[in-house]
Structure 1
Amino acid sequence: MDDLPPYTAVVLAGGRAARLGGQAKPQLEVGGRTMLAAVLDAVADAERRVVVGPPQPAPPNVVLVREQPPGGGPVAALRAGLAEVGTDVVAVLAGDLPFLTRSLIADLRTRLTGDGVLVVDDTGRDQLLLGVWRTTAVRSAVADVRGPTSLRKVFAPLAVRRLRPQVPPGNPPPWLDCDTPADLQRARAVAAARPSPGPPRFRAPRDRA
């Protein structure tokens, strides 16, 4: 992987999950660690890791920023994260992917052509927060967006390559997120049957506007 260009990881970790008791979803634990910790581990080789959202526990070398206005949605969050990116390549990820792996991030980086490459799940749906992009392309896409807008609409004009990861039988898919209590229960049951990496201990860093 040494021949690949360096990249920055921008992790969108804002909002509260109303269907999960209003808790900060990325801080919910699956398999003995928070979902945010799992995502940050998958991008441990990034030149910089940026978490966008409210103040929350994260490793000391992770940059924490807040979208403006707070709670302004994923496009505002992505714009805030991109302000901290100094590499030509950026991984844009959700903060609630407990089964994201380093190997998938490597596969995405290897397959980066055009403006970006993202994961397509087993139903054929684009996973917009599971991809690797040319930083300039994404910056241009969000530059003039005003007001609430979907990421799907923002990314629509970009030249995107799609990757369908092969998921071995019995393994959880890397795009599995946890939006409902049933999702969370399922993820925890799957994780309980696998070796646990152990819970990392993070301090809560200061918020950066």
Structure 2
Amino acid sequence: MDPLPPFAAVVLAGGRAARLGGQAKPQLDVGGRSMLDAVLAALAGAAPRVVVGPPQPVPDGVQRVREEPPGGGPVPALAAGIAAVGGAGVVAVLAADLPFVTAGLVTALRERLTGDGVLVVDDTGRDQLLLGVWRTAVLRDALAGARPHTPLRAVLSPLAVRRYRPPVLPGVPAPWTDCDTPAELARARAAAARLPGPVTG
């Protein structure tokens, strides 16, 4: 039984993916499953799980909501997701294009939640704003009144945020690996093909 407090999850699955031919990026296949399915698998312990973005397939039991205005950026998308999680005290917030994120990483973040939030820092020292776990009420307050297209970093910067740089095993893609360009997508697919199976640890 999970000794940590229950948590909800919000997955931001919007964006036009113009550099990927305008396709629905979360639905693109990496390693035999869509990137969205990989992210939702890493969040299997969350309830509810909320996907924010345009109409697209989601597994049974996963809620889908749309930001207002549509295409208004990550701040209104996150606000829509937070509104849908109800009374959950803790919420994981992830992007939908992280094909190598794992349930183990989500657990590690939950274990390190001591202030307002905890997020992953990559190997260059850059904050991964859409790979973290937060106090839901604090996040809801921070988002209140924020305008569309406001940078998410500006909303989160006043919060007491802990950083976590997870270990990355040799030969295993980093959990912050995303796919914004055709080249990044090709590299992710090639890396997935070298793995013995889906990354689940």
Which band: TM-score by shorter chain?
Answer: over 0.9
Q: Work out the CA distance in 1 between the residues paired with 2:47 and 2:57.
A: 20
| Aligned position for 1:182 | 183
Matched, 1:40 2:46: no
3-state SS, counterpart of residue 133 of structure 2: strand
**Percent of aligned positions that are identical:** 72
Q: Work out the CA distance in 2 between the residues paired with 1:148 and 1:193.
A: 38
Q: Do the aligned residues in 2 keep the contact of 1:108 with 1:132 (CA within 8 Å)?
A: yes
Deviation at 1:169, TM superposition (A): 1.1
Matched, 1:119 2:114: no
CA-to-aligned-CA distance 1:114-136 (integer Å, 9 cap, x gap): 10000000000000000000001
TM-score by length of 2: 0.96
Residue type matched to 1:33 in 2? R
Residue type matched to 2:142 in 1? A
Q: Work out the CA distance in 1 between the residues paired with 2:197 and 2:25.
A: 20
Q: Do the aligned residues in 1 keep the contact of 2:109 with 2:132 (CA within 8 Å)?
A: yes
| Aligned position for 2:72 | 72
Q: Work out the CA distance in 2 between the residues paired with 1:139 and 1:65.
A: 16
Residue type matched to 2:94 in 1? L
Q: Work out the CA distance in 2 between the residues paired with 1:148 and 1:64.
A: 21
Deviation at 1:12, TM superposition (A): 0.1
Q: Do the aligned residues in 1 keep the contact of 2:73 with 2:148 (CA within 8 Å)?
A: no
Mapping for residues 1-209 of structure 1, pairs under 5 Å: 2-85=2-85, 86-197=87-198
Residue type matched to 2:55 in 1? P
Q: Work out the CA distance in 2 between the residues paired with 1:51 and 1:21.
A: 22
Structure 2 unaligned spans of 5+: none
Q: Work out the CA distance in 1 between the residues paired with 2:72 and 2:179.
A: 21
TM-score by length of 1: 0.92
3-state SS, counterpart of residue 84 of structure 2: coil
Q: Do the aligned residues in 2 keep the contact of 1:32 with 1:196 (CA within 8 Å)?
A: no
Deviation at 1:147, TM superposition (A): 3.3
Q: Do the aligned residues in 2 keep the contact of 1:97 with 1:177 (CA within 8 Å)?
A: yes
Residue type matched to 2:23 in 1? Q
Q: Work out the CA distance in 2 between the residues paired with 1:196 and 1:34.
A: 14
How many residue pairs get matched?
197
- Flag as ranges the 4+ runs of structure 1 deviating above 3 A: none
Structure 1 unaligned spans of 5+: 198-209
3-state SS, counterpart of residue 93 of structure 1: strand
Instruction: Identify which of structures 1 and 2 has the higher relative contact order when contacts are C-alpha pairs closer than 8 Å and 6+ apart.
Output: 1
Q: Work out the CA distance in 1 between the residues paired with 2:153 and 2:15.
A: 19
Q: Do the aligned residues in 2 keep the contact of 1:177 with 1:183 (CA within 8 Å)?
A: yes
3-state SS, counterpart of residue 83 of structure 1: helix
Deviation at 1:16, TM superposition (A): 1.5
Residue type matched to 2:60 in 1? P
